[in-house]
Chain A
Amino acid sequence: MTETYIARSSDVASRMLGGEMIIMSAADSTLFTLNQQATAIWNAADGVTPLSEIVESKICGAFEVDPAVAYQDAEELVRDLAGHGILLVSERPAEGREVTS
Chain B
Amino acid sequence: MSLITELDSRAGKLGVPLSAHLDVTYRCNERCVHCYLPHDDRGEMTTAEIVDLLDQLADAGVFFLTISGGEPFLRRDLFEILAHARARTFNIKLKTNAILIREGEAESLRRFNLDSIQISIYSHRPEVHDAITKVKGSLERSIAAIRFLKSRGFKVTIANVIMRYNRHDYPGVQALAAELGAIFTIDPTITPHIEGDRGILALNVSRADLEEIFHTESLVGNLEEFCAPPVAVDDDVLDSVSCSAGHTLAYISPYGDVFPCVQFPLPSGNVRKQKFLDIWRDSPQLREVRSIHARDLEGCSECGHVGSCTRCPGLAYREGNMRGPSMADCEKSFARTGIPSRNMLRKAAFSVPLVQIEEWRSTASGAGLAEDDFGGGKDRENVLSC
Contacts and interface: CB of A to CB of B under 8 A. Distances in A.
A33 B5 CA distance: 13
A11 B115 CA distance: 10
B7 A33 contact: yes
B285 interface: no
Interface in B62-93: 62-63, 87, 89-92
B244 interface: no
A29 B157 CA distance: 14
Interface of A is mostly: strand
Contacts of A24: 63, 91, 115
Interface string A6-27: 0000111111111000101010
Nearest to B63: A15
Contacts of B3: 31, 33
A80 to B, nearest CB: 16
A100 interface: yes
Contact of B62 (A14, A15, A100): A15
Interface residues of B, number: 22
B227 interface: no
A15 B58 CA distance: 8
A95 to B, nearest CB: 20
Interface of A: 10-18, 22, 24, 26, 29, 31, 33, 100
29 contacts: A10-B113, A12-B89, A12-B113, A13-B92, A13-B115, A14-B89, A15-B61, A15-B89, A15-B90, A16-B61, A17-B7, A17-B10, A17-B11, A17-B14, A17-B16, A17-B61, A17-B63, A18-B16, A24-B63, A24-B91, A24-B115, A26-B91, A26-B113, A29-B115, A29-B155, A31-B4, A33-B3, A100-B87, A100-B89
10 closest cross-chain pairs (CB), A and B: A13-B91, A15-B63, A26-B113, A14-B89, A24-B91, A11-B113, A31-B3, A18-B14, A13-B89, A13-B90
